[in-house]
């Protein structure tokens, strides 16, 4: 049984990951801004015989992310896995100059990830063990029109996570999971009509979010000495 913290657990991939890992016997600690969603998810987990804590969490606030990790350690004595999953994707062309949306993606997808590392790493170093899981994207491997900034945040997430692997104590494991198109609320944040329309076609074939939960489960289920570093999971039909 591991103590697993998940950011962005209120919908999509984070939600599915919480359900799967709780079902597999892990204690999950759920963070996101929509507390009503987290409470409903925790109830579902408890009703099924699992255990979960919930915390209102905005990953752009460094102190909140630190408190999220510290509270888990105070309550359970340790933190085994931190899943940095929270993300936003308001796609648009660069010449639309949706600068506030660029900032939002940098704040959540990059700074939020760094806040997670800053929160988890001291506990992992003390324990000389721990597992950091970053949810990147196939956008961490290729850039497509309307997704320059989003892809940049995911390239950054992959680079930062690889840097963590290289620098971390040998007892600390590091995994980047990069999903292709997965059913979730992610495209709802797109405000530009053209990008929204293009995404409708691009997202016609999706994987269920539990597919990504299974990949995370695989990575954290390996023996201590086995470090699964990168998993790309996309629909067979995705090009």
Ligand X SMILES: NC(=O)c1ccc[n+]([C@@H]2O[C@H](COP(=O)([O-])OP(=O)(O)OC[C@H]3O[C@@H](n4cnc5c(N)ncnc54)[C@H](OP(=O)(O)O)[C@@H]3O)[C@@H](O)[C@H]2O)c1
Give the gyration radius of the chain's Cα atoms. Answer: 17
Instruction: Work out whether 90 is an interface residue with ligand X (CB under 6 A).
Output: no
Q: How many CB atoms lie within 10 A of CB 99?
A: 10
Which residue in 6, 41, 69, 89 binds ligand X (CB under 6 A)?
89
Does 135 bind ligand X (CB under 6 A)? Our answer is: yes
Near ligand X by CB under 6 A: residue from 28, 30, 110, 182: 182
Q: Is residue 219 a contact point for ligand X (CB under 6 A)?
A: no
Nearer to ligand X, 9 or 121 (CB): 9
- Tell me how far, at minimum, the Cβ of 203 lies from ligand X, in Å: 7
Annotated catalytic residue 150: yes
Which residues fall within 8 angstroms of residue 32, CB to CB, at 6 or more apart?
A: 7, 8, 9, 10, 11, 14, 38, 56, 57, 86
Nearest Cα neighbor of 134 from 106, 107, 162 is 162
Q: Please select the residue that binds ligand X; options are 23, 39, 40, 60, rule is CB under 6 A.
A: 60
Around 219, how many Cα atoms within 13 Å sit in the side-chain half-sphere?
Answer: 31
Among 6, 186, 199, 228, binds ligand X (CB under 6 A): 186
Tell me which of 68, 155, 179, 213 binds ligand X, using CB under 6 A. 179
Q: Determine, following the binding rule CB under 6 A, whether residue 29 of this chain makes contact with ligand X.
A: no
88 binds ligand X (CB under 6 A): yes
Residue nearer to ligand X on the CB measure, 129 or 217: 217
Residues classed as catalytic: 150
Question: Which residues contact ligand X (rule: CB under 6 A)?
Answer: 7-14, 32-34, 37, 57-60, 85-89, 108, 135, 137, 179, 181-182, 184-186
């Amino acid at each position: 049984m591991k103590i697993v913290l998940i950011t962005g657990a209120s919908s999509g991939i984070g939600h599915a990951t919480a359900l799967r890992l709780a079902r597999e016997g892990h204690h999950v600690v759920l963070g996101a801004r929509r507390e009503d969603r987290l409470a409903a998810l925790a109830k579902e987990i408890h009703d099924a015989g699992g255990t979960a804590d919930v915390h209102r969490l905005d990953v752009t606030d460094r102190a909140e992310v630190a408190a999220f990790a510290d509270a888990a350690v105070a309550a359970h004595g340790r933190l085994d896995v931190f899943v940095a999953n929270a993300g936003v994707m308001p796609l648009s062309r660069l010449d639309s100059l949706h600068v506030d949306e660029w900032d939002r993606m940098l704040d959540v997808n990059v700074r939020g990830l760094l806040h997670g590392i800053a929160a988890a790493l001291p506990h992992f170093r003390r324990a000389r063990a721990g597992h950091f899981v970053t949810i990147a994207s196939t956008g961490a491997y290729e850039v497509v029109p309307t997704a320059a900034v989003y892809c940049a945040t995911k390239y950054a997430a992959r680079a930062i996570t690889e840097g963590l692997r290289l620098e971390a104590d040998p007892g600390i494991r590091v995994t980047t999971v990069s999903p292709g198109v997965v059913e979730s609320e992610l495209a709802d944040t797109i405000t530009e009509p053209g990008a929204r329309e293009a995404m409708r076609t691009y997202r016609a074939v999706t994987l269920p979010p539990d597919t990504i939960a299974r990949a995370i489960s695989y990575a954290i289920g390996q023996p201590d000495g086995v470090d699964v570093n990168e998993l790309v999971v996309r629909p067979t039909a995705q090009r």
